[in-house]
Chain A
Amino acid sequence: MADSAVPSGHAPAILSARGICIAFGPRTVLDDVSLDVAEGEIVALLGPSGSGKSTLLRIITGLLRADRGTVELDGRSIDDLPTHRRNIGLVFQDEQLFPHRTVAQNIEFGLRMQRRPRTDRTRRVAELLAVVGLPGFEDRRVTDLSGGEAKRIALARTLAPAPRIVLLDEPLTGLDRELHDQLTVELARLLRETHTTAVLVTHDRDEAAAIADRVVRMEGR
């Protein structure tokens, strides 16, 4: 069970998940879970694997439908809104970069979906590449990126269309210690600099502490 955590001393919640329940067959994964996130806040969901953290993110994005419960964004229920209309970004644990596209094409994907003009997109891609510390990577093939580079590009791709809130699913898992620590610092800085509201899923206590304003603990069932 998760702590029903409410932000304290902050503006009212922009994301609010209430009473979420989901079961896969006989296995109940989330049982009456609630979560509130305030504007500009970075929340870490901390818990062992199998505690349903990733599942909760998928329900918030609409990739998965909860059995019960409701998700609100800016005070309005988005339960019936399809994923692509929710304006919620998600950084996948294994990046899920589009292998048939270049780095630039990956990052501008969301911008193209918003029908932004080409010059606009090119500028924004360069801007984001600078933010994640990989300027000039536009024409690289994503299959040629190193593990750390791929993580940064995945983050840039999610940030590009400026979603209302960014969800990160174990974004730093699978990196070696040194790179992990370096990216942890960078990620924390980057989310703050861009004033991003974010929910970070991790099983790493130190990582959670380093990045998040507030840590919510989820217990495995």
Chain B
Amino acid sequence: MSARDRNGLSRWTIAALAAPAIAFIGLFYAWPVVALVHRAVTAEAFRTVVHDVSLRRILWFTAWQAAISTAATVVVGLVPAWLLARYEFVGRRFLTALITVPFVLPTVVVGAAFLALLPQSLDQSVVAILVAHVFFNVAVVVRGVGGLWSLLPPDLVGAARTLGASPWRAMREVTLPLLAPAIEASASVVFLFSFTSFGVVRILGGPSHPTLEVEIWERATRLGDVGVAAIVSIIQLVVLGLAVLWFARIQSRHRAAIGLRPLANRRRARGWAERGTVAALSIAVVVAVGTPLAALFERSVRTNAGHSLVAWRAVFGRRQLATGRPTAVSSLDPLGSLFTSLRFALIATVLSVIIGGCASLAIVAMSRTGGRSRLGRALDTGIMLPLGTSAVTIGFGVLVGFSVAPLDWRAAPLLIPLGHALVATPFVVRVLLPTLRSIDPHLRDAASALGASPLRAWREVDMRVMVAPLLTGAGFAAAISLGEFGATTFLTRQGRATLPIAIEQLLARPGAVLHAEGYVLATVLALLTFLVIGAFEGVRSLGDRSG
């Protein structure tokens, strides 16, 4: 094979594109995990795991609830994805941003709001877990599938319809197969999230429905059995690694280039039936997402006697309370946590967009040349693995892996945004890959034939198509960093807390005003997420118009 494949990217270019991701994952993920396993795993821990029957039961429960959660999330998510991808209407961008909010809110917070809205009979049931997983993860499907859907020419369905296919048949025969790469990519992420679910399971599932992630946490921090926890964590990793590999395999099978163009294919609804459908669906989404958020706000103005804005004033104005006491616990700085979170989000977003963007190009380039598609899949899987690794393992691994000079960075503040980037990068990749895979290689050939250099051709064609999903990815990355809780709690840290940590700390103390302050921060976090996603959507739609 020649040094240049048909993409026109040389072997060295591909290697250089993959390098940042490999270095980043290797240093901040693989090394800590290996170091932890090396330090903590003993023969006795192995025996414990092998003989523990309850672990098998927990693994089974974790797997099936994740599978059902994923299926349900995909089915539910396709409806708003269709709405947002196909129709232009007043408030479309508002809806897009709104639907993303639950995904990044800490489960501590929305879990509570959710609990209040759930019928008592469903409290602590599997159904509650499933419903919550759909609620939290539906954004992954809406954004992931919606991105590709909005690029699919609507006339493909038109063609199927004129050939005698009913709307449902056209959906099944044309739309869904063409969306398959994006559906599978989203499904793999949702599966990872549902499988490693921690907060939702603890709050809504109650003590009788532990997942592996809860079990790992319990063993490592409650029982002091870090070795057993590490082994269970590796088991979880292996299961999820196989799942991700499988997803990656079926994804790379869909390499149909659809000839996507960065066009806005949305149109306004015509006729009262269509307009009614669009309106009804929009309202349903607003109600489904908005109700828990409204409950959040209500809790932020709830005091020991009725409702007032005292907590809002306490967070933003820092005046004394009626009892003559300071407005929050002395070292907790609610407003400071906001700026800490914003700073971390900026670093994490820049990092994950660069690393994820380069890695996606490398993966697609590798998959287009038969011999290297395996390498591409391996890179893809490697990037996904941090999502499937328990936060405890990453936190403890960092501690062990970085405890000896020259790598003694245990309490380095930058570890937190780095950890966030580790979680955000897979999202950037997942959003980018389906679009990149669907680019018609002919487009590039055409560009080359017209005299463009390979790099130029690549820039002209790939870069233009990449801008929109890259912006979506960046919005997601920022939102993920803002809401990240798990890894952050397990990293040793210095100085100010992030928003989710501050929220958790405020809710972990008695006192009506402190609780309300926690919900003030939660409301602020929801608003912030909404604005960040909205802003990226705004920039993106500007691009649409000029493109």
Contact = CB atoms under 8 A, between A and B. Distances in A.
A92 B163 contact: no
A84 B257 contact: no
A94 interface: yes
B159 A88 contact: no
Contact of B163 (A62, A143, A157): A157
Interface residues of A, number: 33
A89 B271 CA distance: 24
Contact of A99 (B161, B165, B256): B256
Given A65-B270, A92-B159, A84 B165 contact: yes
A166 B160 CA distance: 15
A114 interface: yes
Contact of A110 (B155, B163, B254): B163
B158 A63 contact: yes
A100 interface: yes
Interface bracket on B:
20 to 34
Given A113-B164, A143-B440, A143-B442, A96 B158 contact: yes
Contact of B159 (A62, A82, A90): A90
A83 B162 CA distance: 6
Contact of A65 (B161, B167, B178, B271): B271
A85 B155 CA distance: 17
A99 B178 contact: yes
A40 interface: no
B249 to A, nearest CB: 17
What secondary structure prevails in chain B residues at the interface with A? helix
Interface in B161-216: 161-167, 169-170, 173-174, 177-178
B164 A90 contact: no
Nearest to A110: B163
A202 interface: no
B153 interface: yes
A86 B158 CA distance: 13
Contacts of A98: 156, 159-160, 174
A71 to B, nearest CB: 14
A90 B165 contact: no
Given A64-B270, A99-B256, A100-B178, A84 B159 contact: no
B271 to A, nearest CB: 5
Q: Which residue, B162, B164, B270, has most C-beta atoms of chain A within 10 A?
A: B162
A96 B440 contact: no
Nearest to B260: A99
B90 to A, nearest CB: 13
Interface string B262-297: 000000101100000000000000000000000000
Interface in A50-108: 58, 61-65, 82-90, 92, 94, 96-100
B354 interface: no
A47 interface: no
A17 to B, nearest CB: 16
A31 B272 CA distance: 21
A171 interface: no
Contacts of A88: 162
B256 A100 contact: yes
A187 B246 CA distance: 47
Given A94-B155, A99-B257, A113-B169, A61 B163 contact: no
Nearest to B440: A143
A61 B162 contact: yes
A156 to B, nearest CB: 12
Contacts of B156: 96, 98
B253 to A, nearest CB: 11
Contacts of A84: 161-167, 169-170
A55 B461 CA distance: 31
B165 A113 contact: yes
Nearest to B153: A96
A74 B528 CA distance: 60
B163 A96 contact: no
Given A92-B155, A113-B169, A83 B161 contact: yes
A137 interface: no
A29 to B, nearest CB: 12
B26 interface: no
11 contacts: A62-B161, A63-B158, A82-B166, A82-B167, A84-B161, A84-B164, A88-B162, A98-B174, A100-B256, A143-B257, A158-B163
Interface of A: 24-25, 58, 61-65, 82-90, 92, 94, 96-100, 109-110, 113-114, 143, 157-158, 161, 163
Given A100-B177, A109-B160, 6 more contacts: A61-B158, A82-B166, A87-B164, A94-B153, A96-B155, A100-B178
Q: Which 10 A-B pairs have the closest CB atoms?
A: A113-B164, A110-B163, A83-B161, A96-B159, A90-B162, A100-B256, A99-B256, A96-B155, A99-B258, A84-B164
